[in-house]
Structure 1
Amino acid sequence: MALVTESKKSCAVNPLKMSQPLGASYAFMGLERCMPLMHGSQGCTSFGVVLLVRHFKEAIPLQTTAMNEATTIMGGFDNLEKALLNIRSRAKPDVIAICSTGLTETKGEDIEGYLRVIRQKHPELADTALVYASTPDYLGAFQDGWAKAVEAVVRTLAEPDVPKVAGRVALLPGCHLSPGDVEELREIVEAFGLEPVVVPDVAGSLDGHIPDDWLGTTLGGTPVAALRTLGSAMHCLALGEQMRPAAERLQAQCGVPFTLFDRLTGLAATDALIVELSRLSGRPVPQKLRRLRSQLVDAMLDGHFHFGNVKVALGAEPDLLWSIGSFLVEMGAELSVCVTTTRSPLLERMPTSEVLIGDLEDLERLAQAADCDLLVTHSHGRQASERLGKPLFRLGIPMFDRIGNAHKVYVGYRGTRNFIYEAGNLLMDQIHHHHADDWPLPASSHAAVAQVPREVFLPARIGRLSRPDPLAEASA
């Protein structure tokens, strides 16, 4: 069990954490024809737009109520009312999704009350769904905002007492899953003949496609009609611990039972999902997935030489920290340093001695003290990587110095295989760079290695890959 501590510094240096309103806005971008709206100052929204544009290299629809000094003191009702009417008349969205900021939360504004009054005053808003999530940016972090937004969508739009549809499943992905991850999971679910309803579906809106017509709103995602009939699902798959509140809300409100998967990167983790999908569908595991599983096992055997005993410094949101950190340990690496952004039940279960809720300065300091071999965090860790002379594996949001971020896939059999190859190749490059004179090994060394029993090189977890195949049991 890991010891969870919190940094007591007066301020963050090179922050790892991003705010709740930004996480909520990102979640709302997974709804079709939606306009996310930050109720706060222009600066809050501008920062969020710039960050997401740099990460996805796409146009980001995000509006603001543009609070100033006077409206902050007197109240933001008028600003919110004008913003809703302007967005409705100009962009004509199906959904306007409002998230609060530290400015309005400190004032203590009754935004839900504001929305009731605005609806009464303006019947022209009757055809526009309004969703509100309370997301003060002085509490929590990015994944907390995402979680609150998804719960707000379920609470506001999912209608109870709708008839169940056989084969329909609700898929609630966390913010640690990229659009590429979400698309991969959709294809896995559909391979069993099931109909997934993804909420929010960032794979439909932020996958980097060129639309036929320009829209001032999101360019894809989950339609409002699908959100209203979310209760018709026979089962819900919650992907990430952050999705537990939304899944519990859906179960209480619409009677949809759920299964939570705290991670989907790794062999055993993906096996659990596949077995559950086989149970829900009543179908055997498709041959395509069996082939991908076999390829992953082979990739683990190929890659474990490069991960064994590697000291890793990992900085990420809790769900991403748990997903990638657990798999690195399964590959034989050592989690020497773990830094995250916010509280989570997963932190105490991390396979390390201590998890620090801190910033990238903490990550760099601890990585230097532990003499780590690899840094894993987002693009703001590049300076620490240069100063320490250690390779950086970029992971999470933001990644503004790379392209193709929306299409990264690190979940399922295929995604886990991708992660092994990308991280393994990075480690191989580091070996070549620092030990060029010793590479390749002389022929005598290869002969000596060949005589060592295979089990010596295999980490214990990989050595147990010969256990019974759970996919065969699921199909029995």
Structure 2
Amino acid sequence: MATVLKPKKACTVNPLKMSQPMGGAMAMMGVGNCMPVLHGSQGCTSFGLVLLVRHFREAIPLQTTAMSEVATVLGGFENVEQAVLNIVKRAKPAIVGICSTGVTETKGDDVEGFIRLIRSRHPELSDVEIIYVSTPDFKDAFQDGWAKTVAKLIQDLTPERPAGAPRDPDRINVLVGCHLTPGDIDELRSIIEDFGLSPVFLPDLSGSLDGHIPDDFTPTTLGGTSLTEIATLGNAAITLVIGEQMRHAAETLEKKTGTPFVLFDRTTGLAPNDDLMSFLAQTSRREVPAKYRKQRGQLVDAMLDGHFFFGGKRIAIGAEPDLLWNTAGWMTDLGAVIAAAVTTTESPLLERLPVETVLIGDLEDLETAAKDCDLLITHSHGRQAAERLHIPFFRAGVPMFDRLGAGHETSIGYRASRNLIFDIGNLFIASAHEPDPGSWRSEAMESGIKAQAARLETSNETARMEAL
């Protein structure tokens, strides 16, 4: 059992975590025809907007209530009212999702009260859903904001299910955590549909941030879960939950509609995907398709090929709890040792990690703990630490702004697990053949020294022959 340590430093150096409002806003982007709004200053929204644009390389719909110093002190009702009216007039969304920030939470704005007053003053907004989520950025982290937002969407938009109402045996709800990419959601949708089931994802980033080019411009989200689908989540036979962070949302849905859920805290590796396939086969009453049996065999073979390179390797990981748990579990399955683990927020998974201690900290803490490691895994802000440590670097999580295709990375299923072996294994192979930058003698220097010694030996031998 791991010991969870909390930071004792006076300040965060080189932050690992992204804030709650960003997690909440990104979850809202998985809802159809939605306009996410951060209730705070323009700078808060601009910073988050830049991060998401750089990560997904897509147009990101995100608005702000543009709180000034005076508005913050006096209260933000007028700013919220004006923001909602302008957004509805110009963007015509089906839903406006408001997430709070540190400055408005510190002031204590009653945004739920603001929304009730706005609706009473503007009956023309009756066809627009307005959702508010409390996500102060001075506490918790990215996955907390995501999880709270999904739970609030269910709480406000999914009605209670009448007793005895029929269920669709082929429909399955899928609540996905923020550690899954749009590519992961696409892969999981294909797997579920191959079993003859009809999945409804919440949130569904695969429709809004998957990189497709729409036929027409829209100022709101390009796709995602529709309000109708959210309202009918109770009609499904069961809910598949991906990530411990989504447990509260699943419990909220079960309480309102009676729909049971099954939670998978890992989706990368052999055993977790065997469990997923067994669950889908049992739910659909069908056999596992032949192509997944073949992919399983390929994964087992890749594990045999790769364990020579993973065995005994010391790995340092910095990530949100669910991503940390998923990645650390797979690396341990392959024979690696998790030598350092740093995360962003509390989770019941942390104590179960295969490591002595887990620190809720920053990238400075991760760099300090990773000094004798063979690989560093974290998001793009960790690249400088890997360079200073002279160890290979594998990017995982948000943001990933210095590589293409972040939104299409996959880690779920047999095929993605196999590819992860190849990607990381090749880093180990390349590192083993590269000179040690920390040594004063590289291979090239050694070759030069040997060549110079050979020339001197030849010169000396020639001199001796001429003397004779």
Q: Same fold (TM over 0.5)?
A: yes
> What residue number does 2:448 align with?
none
- Any idea what the Cα deviations from partners look like across 1:208-245, whole Å, max 9, x if unmatched? 01000000001111111111111111100110000000
For 2:315, the equivalent position in structure 1 comes to 312
AA aligned opposite 1:150? V
Structure 2 partner of 1:409:
410
User: Could you report, residue by residue, the CA deviation over 1:163-215 in whole angstroms, capped at 9, with x for unpaired residues?
Assistant: 42221010001000111011111111111100100000001110001000000
1:385 counterpart = 2:386: yes
Structure 2 residue aligned with 1:55:
55
Shift of 1:322: 0.2
Tell me what 2:128 maps to: 128
Q: How far apart, CA to CA, are the structure 2 residues paired with 1:219 and 1:165?
A: 28
Match of 2:253 in 1: 250
Counterpart of 1:348 (choices 347, 351, 354) is 351
Q: Which residue of 2 aligns with 1:141?
A: 141
Alignment of 1:109-120 (within 5 A): 109-120=109-120
Q: Residue type matched to 1:249 in 2?
A: T
In structure 1, what is the equivalent of residue 39 of structure 2? 39
* CA–CA distance in structure 2, aligned partners of residues 82 and 200 of structure 1: 27
Which stretch of structure 1 is more off in the superposition, 315-324 or 296-305?
296-305
Cα distance between partner residues in 2 of 1:354 and 1:26: 30
| 1:213 counterpart = 2:240 | no
| Matched position secondary structure for 2:304 | helix
Instruction: Measure the CA separation in 2 of the matches of 1:148 and 1:313.
Output: 29
Residues 230-249 of structure 1: matches in 2 within 5 Å?
230-249=233-252
1:278 corresponds to 2:275: no
Aligned partners of 1:325 and 1:254: how far apart in 2? 35
Q: 2:342 is matched by which residue type in structure 1?
A: V
Counterpart Cα distance in 2 of 1:381 and 1:259: 34
Matched with 1:196 is 199
Please state if 1:93 is matched with 2:89: no
Question: How many residues of Structure 1 are paired with residues of Structure 2 in the alignment?
Answer: 436
Report Cα offsets for 1:311-330 as digits up to 9, x if no partner.
00100000000000011001
Q: Deviations for 1:26-59, whole angstroms, at most 9, x for unmatched residues? A: 1100011110000111111001100000001111
The CA RMSD over aligned residues, in Å, is 1.2
Report how far residue 306 of structure 1 moved. 0.9
Equivalent position of 1:431 in the other structure = 432
Matches within 5 A, 1:52-91: 52-91=52-91
Aligned residue identity for 2:180: L
Residue 310 of structure 1 aligns to which amino acid in structure 2? K
1:294 aligns with 2:270: no
Structure 1 position 360 matched with structure 2 position 373: no
Task: Give ranges in structure 2 of 5+ residues lacking alignment.
Answer: 437-441, 444-468
Aligned partner of 2:460 in structure 1 is none
Per the TM alignment, residue 340 of structure 1 is displaced from its structure 2 partner at its CA by 0.4
2: CA distance between counterparts of 1:179 and 1:385?
27
| Distance across 2 between alignment mates of 1:145 and 1:71 | 24
Whole-angstrom distance in 2 between the partners of 1:421 and 1:132:
43
> Is structure 2 residue 341 aligned with structure 1 residue 338?
yes
Greater shift, 319-328 or 109-118, is seen at: 109-118
The Cα of 1:108 is off from its aligned counterpart by 1.1
Cα drift, residue 276 of structure 1: 0.7
In 2, Cα distance between the equivalents of 1:205 and 1:292? 28
Deviation at 1:365, TM superposition (A): 0.7
Inter-partner Cα distance in structure 2 for 1:50 and 1:147: 22
Which residue in 1 is equivalent to 2:463? none
Correspondence for 1:159:
159
Could you tell me which amino acid in structure 2 is paired with residue 151 of structure 1? A
Which consecutive aligned stretches of 4+ in structure 1 deviate over 4 angstroms post-superposition? none
Q: What is the SS of the residue equivalent to 2:126?
A: helix
Give the C-alpha shift of residue 426 in structure 1.
1.0
| CA–CA separation in structure 2 for the residues paired with 1:434 and 1:167 | 56
Q: Alignment partner of 2:225: what SS?
A: coil
Aligned amino acid, residue 301 of structure 2: D
Listed one character per residue, the Cα deviations across residues 373-397 of structure 1 (whole Å, up to 9, x for unaligned) are: 1000011111111111111001101
Aligned partner of residue 46 in structure 1, secondary structure: helix
SS of the counterpart of 2:426?
A: helix
Q: Which structure has the bigger radius of gyration?
A: 2
Q: Partner of 1:223 in structure 2?
A: 226
1:454 equivalent in structure 2:
none
**Amino acid corresponding to residue 64 of structure 1 in structure 2:** T
Write the letter of the residue equivalent to 2:400.
M
> Which residue of 2 is the match for residue 445 of structure 1?
none
CA shift for structure 1 position 434: 3.3
Q: 1:442 matched to which residue of 2?
A: none
Which secondary structure state, in structure 1, belongs to the residue aligned with residue 168 of structure 2?
Answer: coil
| Equivalent position SS for 1:127 | coil
Task: Tell me which moved more, 15-24 or 104-113.
Answer: 104-113
122-131 or 315-324, larger mean C-alpha shift: 122-131
Query: Hey, what's the Cα distance between the residues in 2 that align with 1:184 and 1:167?
Result: 19
Show the counterpart of 2:271.
268
C-alpha distance in 1 between matches for 2:61 and 2:166: 34
SS state at 1:78 partner: helix
**Equivalent in 159, 174, 178 of residue 171 of structure 1:** 174
Counterpart Cα distance in 2 of 1:223 and 1:434: 54
Aligned partners of 2:321, 2:56: CA distance in 1, in Å?
Answer: 22
Mapped partners of 2:277, 2:5: distance in 1: 35
3-state DSSP of counterpart to 1:82 = helix
Greater CA drift, 111-120 or 136-145: 111-120
Q: Normalised by the size of structure 2, how large is the TM-score?
A: 0.92
1:30 counterpart residue number: 30
Structure 2 CA distance for aligned equivalents of residues 109 and 75 of structure 1: 6
Mark the runs of 5 or more structure 1 residues left unpaired by the alignment: 438-476
> For residues 136 and 213 of structure 1, do their structure 2 counterparts lie closer, same or farther at Cα, with a shift above 3 Å needed?
same
Alpha-carbon distance in structure 2 between the residues aligned to 1:130 and 1:419: 40
Name the amino acid aligned to 2:428: L
Greater displacement, 295-304 / 427-436: 427-436
Q: Secondary structure at the match of 1:211?
A: coil
